């Protein structure tokens, strides 16, 4: 009846390894973050890292996978609370941008490290990104839109604008939430007077 308490899962350093990799890839980018940096951050020797990952690219892919998982979850959770299509899209964009700009090393890596900069992992990274973007394809598919609006371009424009914000955002000014909402507003209203 009394069961012996099983030893808690071995004090695995793999999660910390991923955390530090995410942090460094986000901070310095893929090329500038060395395997040594990552290993040192988790208190390992560089070679030890290769017990967990066969190559630096594989480490990146693992971070990407986790990044996509986390940001997907964030978007799914955020949109679940809404039923109105525009509200749902807005919630998704806000979640996306908050992960991207502030909260989440993993998610930031997904946007910051561009597939074309890592040829050996390019296709895998692209697949992961594409899978994620499908969430937005769906959110946009649900929008009631005027005839003739190309939903694909709507997605590309919206996500492009959001993702690019990593290049100009500085903590302290507008919040991610504000940014996302303003971008959406620009799409919702007509900028041409004659309408």
Strand, coil or helix: 162: helix
Contact positions vs a second copy (CB under 8 A): 29, 31-32, 86, 114-117, 119, 143-146, 149-150, 153-154, 156-165, 167-168, 179, 182-183, 186-193, 195
The residue written with tokens 């955020």 in the block is 78
- Residues 158, 71: contact at Cβ < 8 Å? no
Q: Is 12 in the site for DNA (CB under 7 A)?
A: yes
Find which of DNA, a second copy, none residue 56 binds, CB within 5 to 8 Å per kind. DNA
**CB-facing half-sphere around the CA of 147: CA atoms within 13 A:** 0
Element (H or E) spanning 94, and its range?
Answer: helix 85-98
Find which of DNA, a second copy, none residue 1 binds, CB within 5 to 8 Å per kind. none
Q: In this chain, which of 56, 96, 112, 155 binds DNA, going by CB under 7 A?
A: 56
| Helix, strand and coil in the chain, % to nearest 5 | 70, 0, 30
Q: Is 57 in the site for DNA (CB under 7 A)?
A: yes
Q: Which residues bind DNA (CB under 7 A)?
A: 7, 10, 12-14, 33-37, 43-52, 54-57
């Amino acid at each position: 009846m009394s069961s012996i308490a099983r030893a808690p899962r071995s004090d695995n350093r793999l999660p910390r390894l991923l955390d530090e990799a995410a942090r460094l890839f986000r901070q310095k980018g893929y090329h500038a973050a060395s395997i040594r940096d990552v290993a040192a951050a988790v208190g390992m020797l560089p070679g030890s890292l290769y017990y967990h990952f066969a190559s630096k690219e594989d480490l990146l892919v693992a971070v990407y996978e986790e990044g996509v998982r986390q940001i997907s979850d964030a978007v799914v959770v955020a949109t679940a609370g809404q039923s109105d299509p525009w509200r749902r899209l807005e919630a998704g964009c806000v979640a996306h941008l908050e992960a991207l700009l502030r909260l989440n090393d993993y998610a930031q890596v997904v946007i910051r490290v561009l597939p074309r900069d890592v040829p050996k992992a390019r296709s895998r990274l692209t697949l992961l990104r594409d899978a994620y973007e499908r969430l937005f394809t769906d959110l946009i598919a649900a929008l009631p839109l005027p005839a003739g609006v190309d939903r694909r371009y709507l997605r590309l424009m919206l996500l492009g604008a959001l993702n690019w914000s990593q290049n100009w955002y500085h903590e302290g000014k507008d919040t991610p939430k504000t940014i996302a909402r303003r971008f959406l507003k620009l799409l919702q209203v007509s900028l041409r007077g004659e309408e």
